[in-house]
């Protein structure tokens, strides 16, 4: 049996694409005792609140009919965001050369957070350029990689 997020992704992708957007991610998490189903979308030029509302209204009856989640949950549609998390190999390909924030589970050289240019990705291992140094972290070391926007 596939995961709930996989089932929802299959249901959501055509609805999201029909609305002129792309499906970035699906998240099913428990926060403060409540389950949340979040569908993250993206679009060239950015996602508007109207995009989120239109997709939410179109996807809600599809989810109700397919009923991939037996329990109650809060359903949200939102933008992947400017500082979106990179999870899949394709995400890393798209943003190769971009500035990222990499978070580790355990400190390396006294820090758990590194900001640098994404320079390589292979089977979960991530390399970034920090100043004149190249750092590579394994999938087991890496807690999160997301785009970083400097102000």
Residue 110 located in a structural domain: yes
Domains contained in the chain, number: 2
Of 79, 97, 115, the residue at which a domain comes to its end is: 79
Segment 72-78 shows an average pLDDT of 96
Q: Which domain holds residue 142?
A: 89-147
Per-chain mean pLDDT for the chain? 95
Same domain for 109 and 67:
no
- Return the pLDDT at 145: 97
Residue 84 located in a structural domain: no
Of 22, 46, 79, the residue at which a domain comes to its end is: 79
Of 33, 58, 79, the residue at which a domain comes to its end is: 79
120 backbone dihedrals φ, ψ, rounded to 5°: -160, 155
Cα-based distances in Å from 64 to 12, 52, 77: 12, 18, 15
Convert the pLDDT of each residue in 24-69 to its tens digit: 999 999 999 999 999 999 999 999 999 999 999 999 999 999 999 9
Closest CA to 97 of 82, 117, 127, 83: 117
CATH number at residue 11: 3.30.300.70
Same domain for 11 and 75:
yes
Residue 127 located in a structural domain: yes
Q: Which two tokens stand for residue 4?
A: 């709930």
Same domain for 93 and 73:
no
Same domain for 93 and 72:
no
Q: Helical H runs in 1-146?
A: 4-18, 49-66, 89-94
90 backbone dihedrals φ, ψ, rounded to 5°: -65, -35
- Return the pLDDT at 70: 86
- Return the pLDDT at 55: 97
- Whole-number Å distance between alpha carbons of 21 and 55: 9
- Return the pLDDT at 1: 39
- Whole-number Å distance between alpha carbons of 129 and 120: 9
Same domain for 94 and 136:
yes
The reported pTM is 0.82
Same domain for 74 and 12:
yes
Q: Helical H runs in the chain?
A: 4-18, 49-66, 89-94
Segment 7-28 shows an average pLDDT of 96
Residue 30 located in a structural domain: yes
CATH number at residue 127: 2.30.30.100
């Amino acid at each position: 049996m596939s995961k709930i997020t996989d089932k929802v992704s299959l249901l959501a992708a055509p609805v999201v694409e029909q609305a002129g957007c792309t499906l970035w991610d699906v998240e099913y998490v428990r926060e403060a005792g409540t389950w949340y189903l979040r569908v993250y979308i993206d679009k060239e030029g950015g996602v508007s609140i109207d995009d989120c509302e239109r997709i939410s209204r179109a996807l809600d009856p599809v989810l109700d009919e397919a009923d991939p989640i037996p329990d109650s949950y809060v359903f949200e549609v939102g933008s992947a965001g400017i500082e979106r998390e990179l999870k899949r190999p394709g995400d890393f390909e798209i943003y190769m050369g971009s500035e990222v924030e990499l978070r580790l589970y355990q400190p390396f050289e006294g820090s758990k957070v590194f900001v640098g240019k994404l320079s390589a990705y292979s089977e979960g291992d991530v390399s970034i350029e920090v100043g004149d140094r190249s750092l590579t972290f394994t999938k087991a070391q890496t807690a999160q990689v997301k785009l970083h926007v400097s102000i």
